[in-house]
Chain A
Amino acid sequence: MRRKIIDLFVILIAVGAVCSAGSREVRIALHLDPELPLDSTENVYVGPILIEPREGENVQSVDLKAAREFETFLRKILRRDAELHLIPKREDLQPPRNNLAALLLDTDFWKAIREENAADYVVAASIDVKVLDRAGYTTEEYVSPQDGKTYFRQVMVEETGFSYDILLVVVEAATGSVLHREQITDFQPKSERKLEEHTDMFTDLYTLQNRLVGIFVPRAVQVKRALYSD
């Protein structure tokens, strides 16, 4: 008798499911407009890439290497993915200040870039790179499922790699006004053994790449949504 009731219950659930026709997950590509609507006819100058000095610390070799690599990476992305016309780099262009916030107030600097290079827009950035080499034990709370009491336990945490904090600005060279600014953080994991090798520092950083490209060209983001079938 009991078995019969269970069987009947299962059938009822199945019939209910058939009749109610629930929601289903679908994938959608949501389109995003670019932050700056450029038509690829503009001349774009890339630089300067400044090193954001940390308080109480001098500029280290990893900072210099990161700034150089980032410039190469930025040029590659803007030329290949955003299809922008980039003006060749000028070695003699030296910014009067090393602080990007102060440099942004110096409209003459940006206007000079336009006069000397015929640039319509300037893409500049400041970069702060931290070498993370943290491995050790940390204490975390733990609630026992058996007695419900809170205990503390030691957990091994390992985090090695390069942490980037980048402020990217797009300046209209004619006026020196900031058209767009984007703060991007990303992390490049590296094994402890390779932390001393400052190569491929920006390889496969999809977040950074996606955000950079999204400033200049339309892009699509894949999302999931529940949709009723009837």
Chain B
Amino acid sequence: MRKTKQLIMVGATLVLAAIIFTGAAFAGNPNAKEASAEMKWGFKVARQGYWQEALMRFEHANQLTPGQPRILNNVAVAQEANGLYEMALLTYQEGLSLDPNNNALRRNYMRYQEFYASYIAPPEIDDEGGKDAQENN
């Protein structure tokens, strides 16, 4: 029983420390706080299918704190959802150049490439009507 209490205390202290740490980070940079709020709001409306507003929110977050791979990931996804496929490609590439090991970005980029090759720019068919490595979708 005592052991459990101790563990709860340790956990609560750590959570409090994390909150204080995050708050301190935001206090030092008010733009970061606003960008975080924009990301949260953008995520919320994206889940409801309002991708135009989501794109606007994510882009605003990117303006407030430029060069954040997490924000660039969301901007790229929202661009895809709005049919801006070429812009999404550039945004994914920008994000990956900043953080090549970001798993979400890498996964999304791979899926984007698969989608793009299948639907937007499928391989050309030669003049004789034969297939040129075109796969069945």
Contact = CB atoms under 8 A, between A and B. Distances in A.
Given A15-B18, A30-B80, A183 B108 contact: no
From A7, A32, A207, A230, name the one whose CB has the most chain B CB atoms within 10 angstroms: A230
Interface string B66-94: 00001101100100110100000000000
Contacts of A227: 43, 46, 73-74, 77, 104
A29 to B, nearest CB: 8
A171 interface: no
A68 interface: no
A225 B108 contact: yes
A151 interface: no
Interface string A15-45: 1001100111010111110000000000000
Contact of A229 (B18, B40, B80, B137): B40
A184 interface: yes
B27 interface: no
Given A226-B104, A228-B70, A228-B104, A11 B14 contact: yes
B43 A15 contact: no
A224 B10 CA distance: 38
Given A7-B7, A207-B137, A211-B137, A225 B80 contact: yes
A11 B9 CA distance: 11
B14 A12 contact: yes
A185 B133 CA distance: 12
Contacts, number: 95
Contacts of B71: 228
Contacts of B125: 181, 183
A35 B103 CA distance: 34
Interface in A202-230: 207, 210-211, 221, 223-230
Contacts of A211: 137
B119 A221 contact: yes
A23 B115 contact: no
A229 B46 CA distance: 10
Contact of A185 (B39, B119, B136): B136
A224 B77 contact: no
B73 A228 contact: yes
Interface string B1-32: 00100010011001100100010000000000
Contact of A225 (B3, B83, B111, B131): B111
A30 B73 contact: no
Contacts of A155: none
From B80, B104, B111, name the one whose CB has the most chain A CB atoms within 10 angstroms: B104
Nearest to B71: A228
Given A23-B104, A101-B127, 13 more contacts: A7-B7, A18-B15, A22-B104, A23-B103, A28-B80, A30-B80, A183-B134, A184-B136, A185-B136, A225-B77, A229-B39, A230-B36, A230-B43
| Ranked 4 nearest A-B pairs via Cβ | A226-B104, A23-B104, A19-B18, A11-B11
15 contacts: A8-B7, A8-B10, A11-B11, A12-B14, A18-B18, A23-B104, A30-B83, A30-B119, A31-B83, A211-B137, A227-B43, A228-B43, A228-B74, A229-B43, A230-B39
